[in-house]
Amino acid sequence: MSMTTSTRSVLDIRDLQVHFPVNRGVLFIKNKGAVKAVDGVNLSIAPGETVGLVGESGSGKTTVGRAIIGLVKPTGGVIEFEGNNVLEMNSAALRQFRRQVGVVFQDPYGSLNPRMTAERIISEPLVAHHLFNSKQERRARVQELLEIVGLNAGMASRYPHEFSGGQRQRIGIARAIASDPTLIILDEPVSALDVSIQAQIINLLDELQDRLQIAYLFIAHDLSVVRHASDRVAVMYLGKLMEVAPRDAVYDNPLHPYTKALLSAVPVPDPEIEKKRERTILTGDIPSPTNPPSGCVFRTRCPIADEACAESIPELREVTPGQHVACLKV
Amino acid sequence: MVKTSDSVEPSSVDTARIQLPYWLAGLLRHRLSVIGGSFILFVAFLAVFAPLLTGFEPTEVDPPNRFLRPSFEHLLGTDYLGRDQFTRLIYGARISMVVGIFSVVIASFIGVPLGLTAAHFGGWTDSAIMRFIDAKLSIPGLILAMMLLLMLGGGVLTVSIALGINLSSAQARLIRSQALSVKEREYFHAARAMGTSNWRLILLHMMPNSIQPVIVQASLGVGFAILGEASLSFLGLGVTPPTPTWGNMLSLAFQYMRSAPYLLFAPGVAILLLVMSFSFVGDGLRDVLDPRLKGKI
């Protein structure tokens, strides 16, 4: 299934599955099924595009990101990077792939090694990929990167604890762009930051994208954060994609009941509109991914579900141009 | 995190230079560590300058003057061959200090790589290394050391190796458990995702962030090693006799306990105080390096 009209995408994920086996017992280990963290996800990202991946905790959005960068091993499916399947790459190709894919993590405190200076943190990908081999060249590159992300080149010798949360996230971004990647996985890059700093970081990411032509997979649990940054938005629930659509379609004309529910959870800053608008409120929690509901995984919390939803699994299909929805009722 | 701000020098690049003032300052606020540290320095001073501090040789036999009581000439008396007990004590301090520190260094050089390898590669490698260490732990330490010494012969180096092998299990287990938690940190994931080699992952990310308890354990281990050397020498297996060690001095004194009980006193108290000093410093280091206790000392 192709999500975009462009045939040359940076990243093309097809039927990605990440199942974690659940084992019980001490000496006699029994396999008690699997946690289907990601179950059949299709997604592609065009060069220079930002795809927002949203969902509540436990939806598997972070696992998708981790599978792409190789931190978890997918149990099925294909991850194609510039036409080559990452899962079948030899070590040389894998090195090349890692050079071209950056990652920014959520926690600006945990994602930087506390025992390294900013300079060493940022030059790590350069060392790993043998770029800028002389010390002077590397130092010059680090200073350039620091300035690109809005920090002072003189801060290179400081340790992470000497920076604020926003500054640390800028260091994380400098590290991610150091090896000139074509794709960056942003794993909730602003969730741990103050709101005022969130905007600064998102603007920085925007600016970098314009300048360096990097594609982003922007993972977030907050639709309002993704709205500003994304070209397209994918909504995930219990390991499956519910709706994938251009940004404006998602925000102005959401079709999937889950997307509608997520949007009505975002407060509207105007009290008049806020009072009048119709809200879909979800009750209960996300079901356990060990034992997901039959048929449509969302049916247990869906306001419009009926018997048919328990029986067949809805596939993503194009409902309006570019807008793909996995729902039997749409 | 409050305490670290005063130790920061933004211009410095070297890790060691920045951390030293911070934990040294912490140690200096820890009263028992200061007492222990001073005593260690005092013993080290006696050991290094031993030839200048006494007019006797440690192996100088003087049969007519055997079993002399402590006096101004012989501060701690003389033993059954008329050797000056004080001279032997300060020369013996050399052996104790060298064996104590050397054993711990050997233990760390064996244990740290094993623990880090086990933690990083996990799975089969981890099981093999850790089961081997468990198996080694099932043999009592002193017996293992005795076996090794019988095979290799006595001497400062062999005693240190025997004790070092003993202490290495604790170091390996300690660093492994710390390293396992480092493995789950985001900076470690980040380094892995960008294709950092295993070698760099272990040396630059895992080791610096899991070494602290090993340092604490090492300073406590020096005391154990000194005690171990004394026990081996007491059993006649340590450093070979004419060379004085606190252990073999104690062993000799033990044989003349009835006629010259004062001979037991000096080496016994010396061992006790030095072991205690190292464990005070170890406790202090643990308190200072433990981030949860930061600001409370």
CATH number assigned to the domain comprising residue B273: 1.10.3720.10
Chain A partners of B187 at a C-beta cutoff of 8 Å?
Answer: 110-114
The answer as to whether B12 is a domain residue is no
User: In the 3-class helix/strand/coil scheme, how is A36-85 assigned residue by residue?
Assistant: EEEEEEEEEECCCCEEEEECCCCCCHHHHHHHHCCCCCCCEEEEEECCEE
Residues of chain A with pLDDT below 70 are 1-7, 25-27
User: Cβ separation of B187 and A94 shorter than 8 Å?
Assistant: no
Chain B partners of A127 at a C-beta cutoff of 8 Å?
Answer: 196, 200
The answer as to whether B15 is a domain residue is no
R_g of chain B, CA atoms, integer Å: 22
Residue-level pLDDT at A149 = 92
Query: Does B6 lie at the interface with A, CB-CB under 8 angstroms?
Result: no
Q: Could you tell me the residue range of the domain that residue B262 belongs to?
A: 3-7+23-293
The answer as to whether B117 is a domain residue is yes
- Cα–Cα distances in Å, from A51 out to A58, A120, A217, A226? 19, 30, 5, 9
Q: How far is B137 from chain A (nearest CA, A)?
A: 23
Chain B partners of A96 at a C-beta cutoff of 8 Å?
Answer: none
Q: How far is A201 from chain B (nearest CA, A)?
A: 19
Residue-level pLDDT at A143 = 92
Q: What is the dihedral of CA A313, A317, A320, A324, to 10 degrees?
A: 80
User: Cβ separation of B187 and A129 shorter than 8 Å?
Assistant: no
Strands A215-220 and A30-45: unpaired
- DSSP class of residue B78 equals B
Chain A partners of B10 at a C-beta cutoff of 8 Å?
Answer: 157-158, 162
User: Cβ separation of B187 and A69 shorter than 8 Å?
Assistant: no
Choice between B283 and A325, residue whose per-residue pLDDT is larger: A325
Q: How far is B5 from chain A (nearest CA, A)?
A: 8
Query: Does B8 lie at the interface with A, CB-CB under 8 angstroms?
Result: yes
Residue-level pLDDT at A194 = 87
pLDDT band at B17 (very low <50, low <70, confident <90, very high): very low
Q: Provide the 3-class DSSP secondary structure of residue B261.
A: coil
Residue-level pLDDT at B3 = 41
Query: Residue A239: which of A84, A8, A15, A68 has the closest Cα?
Result: A15
Q: Which of B1, B186, B195 sits opposite A129 (nearest CB)?
A: B195
User: In the 3-class helix/strand/coil scheme, how is chain A assigned residue by residue?
Assistant: CCCCCCCCCCEEEEEEEEEEEEEECCCCCEEEEEEEEEEEEEEEECCCCEEEEECCCCCCHHHHHHHHCCCCCCCEEEEEECCEEHHHCCHHHHHHHHHHEEEECCCCCCCCCCCCCHHHHHHHHHHHCCCCCCHHHHHHHHHHHHHHCCCCHHHHHCCHHHCCHHHHHHHHHHHHHCCCCCEEEEECCCCCCCHHHHHHHHHHHHHHHHHHCCEEEEEECCHHHHHHHCCEEEEEECCEEEEEEEHHHHHHCCCCHHHHHHHHCCCCCCHHHHHHCCCCCCCCCCCCCCCCCCCCCCHHHCCCCCHHHHHCCCCCEEEECCEEECCCCC
Q: How far is A315 from chain B (nearest CA, A)?
A: 32
The answer as to whether B16 is a domain residue is no
User: Cβ separation of B193 and A112 shorter than 8 Å?
Assistant: no
Residue-level pLDDT at B290 = 63
pLDDT band at B68 (very low <50, low <70, confident <90, very high): low
Between CA A125 and CA A179 the distance in angstroms is 6
Q: Which of A106, A157, A179 sits opposite B10 (nearest CB)?
A: A157
Per-residue pLDDT at B10 exceeds 50: no
Give the H/E segment covering residue B238: none
Query: What's the rounded mean pLDDT across residues B55-70?
Result: 70
Query: Residue B37: which of B230, B276, B214 has the closest Cα?
Result: B276
> How many other CB atoms are found less than 10 A from the CB of residue B81?
15
User: Cβ separation of B187 and A159 shorter than 8 Å?
Assistant: no
User: In the 3-class helix/strand/coil scheme, how is B115-163 assigned residue by residue?
Assistant: HHHHHHHCHHHHHHHHHHHHHHHCCCHHHHHHHHHHHHCCCHHHHHHHH
Chain B partners of A123 at a C-beta cutoff of 8 Å?
Answer: none
Give the residue from A113, A117, A158 with the most B CB atoms within 10 Å of its CB, the best one to mutate: A113
User: Cβ separation of A111 and B197 shorter than 8 Å?
Assistant: no
Query: What's the rounded mean pLDDT across residues B56-75?
Result: 70
Q: Quick one: tokens of A222? A: 């907050």
Per-residue pLDDT at B116 exceeds 50: yes
B16-20 CB contacts, 8 Å cutoff, 24+ apart: B18/A159
Query: Residue A58: which of A232, A297, A248, A294 has the closest Cα?
Result: A297
The answer as to whether B60 is a domain residue is yes
Count of domains for chain B: 1
Residue-level pLDDT at B20 = 52
User: Cβ separation of A110 and B185 shorter than 8 Å?
Assistant: yes
Chain A partners of B16 at a C-beta cutoff of 8 Å?
Answer: none
Give the residue from A115, A122, A161 with the most B CB atoms within 10 Å of its CB, the best one to mutate: A115
**Closest residue in chain A to residue B194, using alpha carbons only:** A98
Domain A11-325: give its CATH superfamily.
P-loop containing nucleotide triphosphate hydrolases (3.40.50.300)
Residue-level pLDDT at A293 = 85
Task: Identify any residues that bridge with A246 across adjacent strands, giving them in sequence order.
Answer: A232
Strands A11-24 and A240-246: unpaired
Specify whether the CB–CB gap between B164 and B102 falls below 8 A. Answer: yes
Q: Provide the 3-class DSSP secondary structure of residue B74.
A: coil
Query: Does B7 lie at the interface with A, CB-CB under 8 angstroms?
Result: no
Between CA B140 and CA A178 the distance in angstroms is 53
State phi, psi for A223 to the nearest 5 degrees: -65, -30
Residue-level pLDDT at A317 = 85
The string of pLDDT tens digits covering residues A38-61 is 888 999 999 989 999 998 888 888
Query: Does B193 lie at the interface with A, CB-CB under 8 angstroms?
Result: yes
Per-residue pLDDT at B297 exceeds 70: no
User: Cβ separation of B11 and A116 shorter than 8 Å?
Assistant: no
Residue-level pLDDT at A175 = 93
Between CA A217 and CA A86 the distance in angstroms is 16
> How many other CB atoms are found less than 10 A from the CB of residue A145?
25
Between CA B263 and CA B270 the distance in angstroms is 12
Q: How far is B114 from chain A (nearest CA, A)?
A: 22
User: Cβ separation of B187 and A110 shorter than 8 Å?
Assistant: yes
Q: Which of B186, B191, B197 sits opposite A107 (nearest CB)?
A: B186
Chain A partners of B182 at a C-beta cutoff of 8 Å?
Answer: none
Residue ranges covered by each domain of chain A:
11-325
Strands A76-81 and A50-54: unpaired
Q: How far is A245 from chain B (nearest CA, A)?
A: 29
> Please, which residues 92-151 of chain B have a Cβ atom closer than 8 Å to chain A?
none
Chain B partners of A115 at a C-beta cutoff of 8 Å?
Answer: 15, 208-209
The answer as to whether B179 is a domain residue is yes
User: Cβ separation of A111 and B15 shorter than 8 Å?
Assistant: no
> How many other CB atoms are found less than 10 A from the CB of residue A6?
13
Residue B173 amino acid letter: R
